[in-house]
Structure 1
Amino acid sequence: MAATQTKPTIFIVHGGWHVPGSYNKLVTALEAEGYEVHIPRLPSTNQVRPPNADLESDTTLIRSYAESLVRAGRNVVAVLHSYGGHVGSNALHGLGTEARAAQGLRGGVSHLIYMTAYAVAEGAATMDTVEKFGNMDLVPIAFDIAEDGTCVNRNPKVLLVGPGPDDADIDEYVGTFVRWNGNTLYQRSKHAAWREIPVSFIYATEDMTIPLHYQKSFVEGMEKAGRKVQTYELKSGHCPNFTATEGVVDIIKATAG
């Protein structure tokens, strides 16, 4: 007889500039709690120049990977960080446990946890939010963008990490970052999985990359569309997976059971 899954599988969709290794601290903490964790690398971080992977490539990979988990009967909780929120929203539609159960299928994505992430609607791009709040002039200040559209963050220690860890730990974390295809920021979603899958949102109150008012606008948009959102708040910069790991784990445990 096959073993029963006692805890959901945690599926992390990482953000721009990040790679799976950027989440080692969070993955280790979750595994210590008995969770199985999956975190595939997004093609848009493959560093090929000119870039040959974008939002569509990222969406295809994440959907294929998630499908392999749910088809195996897994109960999956998706943790979406930063740009990973855009990818996960676009990729996970139709894979919710309710939608699959209605078809007589086992497994599915039972919850989306947006961790200071972009939760946009169909037809929207990540940069639409930046433009909405009148901050397009800050983009070249924050991002070093090459002619091919690939980019790095100009000051990741301040803009991405923020206060908290020791300098040596921050240096090690920032050392995992890579050049990323920033063209994805202007590409538009075709789907919004949050319309059909239960949602939580982790506010990072000190975030300088996706400011708190951006984060709250995503929650307001989802709730206006009829999706109730459970919110949590961490005093953290843009990377609570690194600077507020224990708090993130507690939220995942509260959500996932």
Structure 2
Amino acid sequence: MEATSKPTLLIVHGGWHFPDSYSKLTGALRTAGFEVHIPRHLSMNQSRPPNADLAADSDLIRSYATSLVEAGRDVAVLMHSYGGQVGTNSLYGLSKNARSAKGLSGGITHLIYMATFALPEGKAMIDKVEEFGHLDRMPVAFGFDEDQSCVANFPKEGLIGEPYADQIDQEELKTYIASLGRWNGKCMYLPLQNTPAWRDDVKLYFIYTLGDLTVPVDYQRSMVQHLVEKEGKTIETIELESGHSPNLTATKAVVDAVVKFTSE
């Protein structure tokens, strides 16, 4: 696939993360020939108490994506962690096929879910945690303050995964952990309010992270199974030997997957 034919890539990032947290991945994607956009979620504005949540993040991402497609761009969306909830909640109706049917150019061509949530209408991220009987793990993994802002208590072990963290440059690891911040933890409890983006006529993909402790692979597989068996969707999947942060620990594999998916 020639670089000029690559879609514009919109990354919808996770909670606790800022765009800078993805600098290794965005750099590698740009080297591979992609134009990359990664707007910062408003729920990561560090306000205390938090003043932005899933609705604000969804409005931001929809506005950003709309500006790209209305400029005639073909857009592939890569969603990580909480970003899957935001992208799912905000991007329906912007697909290239939907826009083409109205005589409009540009549109979303690929939705790529990575270590993330792809839920049906009315479901919150916490519902998946409850479904698997893991609510007792929440206060261990995440430190919630009285204002419901929260931090990841053990980023190396939980957000990255110790065996994978030990395999990368330790200065790089320290920089990554230092890039993380406080997030509005209420977002985990907020359900989808809009038609899920995966209902569009758009190509769907899921990148499984086999060693993920934050969004365990069993969660990931159950979401894909629902979309395939209950919703009749076609989803291409790949598996990465990674924890919850393949953007850091399996960067080349993520880039290879994005190149493969967007060339189809």
Give the shorter-chain TM-score range.
over 0.9
Instruction: Provide the residue aligned with 2:197 in structure 1.
Output: 193
* Alignment partners' CA distance in 2, 1:241 and 1:112: 17
Question: What does 1:199-214 align with in structure 2 at a 5 Å threshold?
Answer: 199-214=204-219
- In structure 2, the partner of 1:234 is 240
The one-letter code matched in structure 2 to 1:75 is: D
Distance 2:224 2:7 in 1: 24
TM-score by length of 1: 0.97
Counting aligned pairs with the same residue, the percent is 50
Larger mean CA deviation between 40-49 and 5-14 belongs to: 5-14
2:250 partner amino acid: A
What is the distance in 1 between the residues matched to 2:100 and 2:11?
Answer: 23
2:261 corresponds to 1:255:
yes
1:243 aligns with 2:249: yes
Structure 2 distance, partners of 1:226, 1:7, is 28
- Within 5 A, what are the aligned runs for 1:1-257? 6-162=5-161, 163=164, 164-190=167-193, 191-196=195-200, 197-224=202-229, 225-257=231-263
4+ runs deviating over 4 angstroms: none
SS at match of 1:105: coil
Aligned residue for 2:5, secondary structure, equals coil
Q: Which runs of 5+ in 1 are unaligned?
A: none
Give me the whole-angstrom Cα distance separating, in 2, the residues matched to 1:195 and 1:174. Answer: 35
3-state SS, counterpart of residue 175 of structure 1: helix
**How much does 1:5 deviate?**
5.3
Per-residue deviation at 1:33? Answer: 1.2
Aligned length: 254
* Counterparts of 1:40 and 1:150, CA distance in 2: 20
Which whole-Å CA distance do the structure 2 matches of 1:6 and 1:230 have between them? 21
**Is the 1:85–1:118 contact (alpha carbons within 8 Å) kept by the matching residues of 2?**
yes
Q: Judging changes above 3 Å, is the alpha-carbon distance between structure 1 residues 5 and 71 closer, same or farther for their aligned structure 2 residues?
A: farther
- Give the gaps of 5 or more residues in structure 2: none
C-alpha displacement at 1:222, in angstroms?
Answer: 1.0
Aligned with 1:16: secondary structure? coil
Instruction: Output the CA distance in 2 between the equivalents of 1:128 and 1:247.
Output: 30
